[in-house]
Amino acid sequence: MLVLVAPGQGAQTPGFLTPWLDLPGVEDRLRAWSDAIGLDLVHYGTKADADEIRDTAVAQPLLVASALISARQLFPAADDLARQVGAAAGHSVGELAAAALTGVLTDEAALTLVRKRGQAMAEAAAVTETGMSALLGGEPEVVLPHLEKLGLTPANVNGAGQIVAAGTAEQLAALAEDKPEGTRKVVPLKVAGAFHTAHMAPAVSALEAAVGELEAADPHTRYVSNKDGQVVSDGQDVVRRLVGQVANPVRWDLCMETFTALGATAFVELAPGGTLVGLAKRAMRGVPTLALKTPADLDAARSLIAEHGAPAE
């Protein structure tokens, strides 16, 4: 059973969309989406520097567009994806891509919503200087109380020995000086705020208004939610979860547990892939994985899909 996932913020790098524009129709599609959401995805994906694409309002639409572009190369029609993918999910903003790929939202609706999401989260992040750091290693029963002591939130519980802490700059500086016992390293992330924490409450209100008239269909493929790792079969519930998740922790550990319970036999991460494959290799041992980084990876992905692409019964 094939699992298809979309990465979250921090996966972007300068110029990462450049090789994808060589594929037929990709630039035209990106320019049409750019016009629809008022953001030049081609410029930011090919010419912008690291600081420009670190901007939350830019990074989020860029990542969703990249995931959709790479997925459409593998599954040109929705029927192809529904027939071959057993479960789909996204990490944080990647959930918007997963919602489009499973038919809950159209591509255009997902990009319009993620544009508003990015802007709202950027505005919320500007109120206080906040950020996120990944803790590598350490046991949750040790790490979580330590974060609470420092006033930090476990914003991403990623499994495979990784928890991402979020909070103010001062709190993160204290963490760097006083990391939990057993933690090998504390790595600051290339994000512009304390996402998935109470600092994002204003963004939740903005998104609630944005989805008021949004049409949502029930997913045609199992959609696994960041909230609790559960399979969600109601499209409106998916949208409600997308809104609330902005200010609540990402439980990617539970998502991977669900993939395993469903019988996952292969794991493909859409562009710009790598982070989620790294987690899966540690938490889903023995399951073949593939990260789509450039179009050069498409043939290998197609081979994996041909071998594993049938939903579990």
- Radius of gyration for the chain, computed over Cα atoms and rounded to the nearest angstrom: 18
**pLDDT bracket for residue 312 (50, 70, 90):** very low
Q: What is the pTM of this model?
A: 0.95
At position 217, the amino acid (one-letter code) is A
Contact 223, 249 (CB under 8 A): no
Residues 238 and 255 in one domain: yes
Total residues found in the chain within this entry: 313
At position 299, the amino acid (one-letter code) is D
Q: Tell me the average pLDDT of the chain.
A: 96
Answer yes or no: is 165 within a domain: yes
Residues 55 and 85 in one domain: yes
Answer yes or no: is 304 within a domain: yes
Residues 66 and 138 in one domain: no
Nearest to 158 by CA among 37, 83, 252: 252
The token duo for 15 is: 């110029």
The token duo for 210 is: 């944005």
Answer yes or no: is 226 within a domain: yes
Report the alpha-carbon distance of residue 102 to residue 94 in Å, rounded: 12
Residue 259 CB neighbour total at 10 angstroms = 24
Residue 250 DSSP code? B
Contact 248, 272 (CB under 8 A): no
Average pLDDT value for residue range 199-218: 93
Report the alpha-carbon distance of residue 198 to residue 195 in Å, rounded: 8
* Domain C-terminal end among 188, 218, 236: 188
At position 192, the amino acid (one-letter code) is A
- The total domain count for the chain is 2
Q: Tell me the per-residue pLDDT of 73-127, one tens digit each, with 9 for 90 and over.
A: 999 988 999 999 999 999 999 999 999 999 999 999 999 999 999 999 999 999 9
User: Is the pLDDT confidence value at 145 over 70?
Assistant: yes
Residues 9 and 60 in one domain: yes
Residues 70 and 212 in one domain: yes
User: Is the pLDDT confidence value at 311 over 80?
Assistant: no
Residues 147 and 214 in one domain: no
Report the alpha-carbon distance of residue 66 to residue 56 in Å, rounded: 15
Residues 77 and 139 in one domain: no
Contact 279, 161 (CB under 8 A): no
Residues 231 and 145 in one domain: no
Residues forming the active site: 92, 196
Q: Tell me the per-residue pLDDT of 176-208, one tens digit each, with 9 for 90 and over.
A: 999 999 999 999 987 889 999 999 999 999 999
The CATH number covering residue 208 comes to 3.40.366.10
The CATH number covering residue 137 comes to 3.30.70.250
Residues spanned by the domain of 274: 2-125+198-308
Q: Name the percent of the chain lying above pLDDT 90.
A: 95
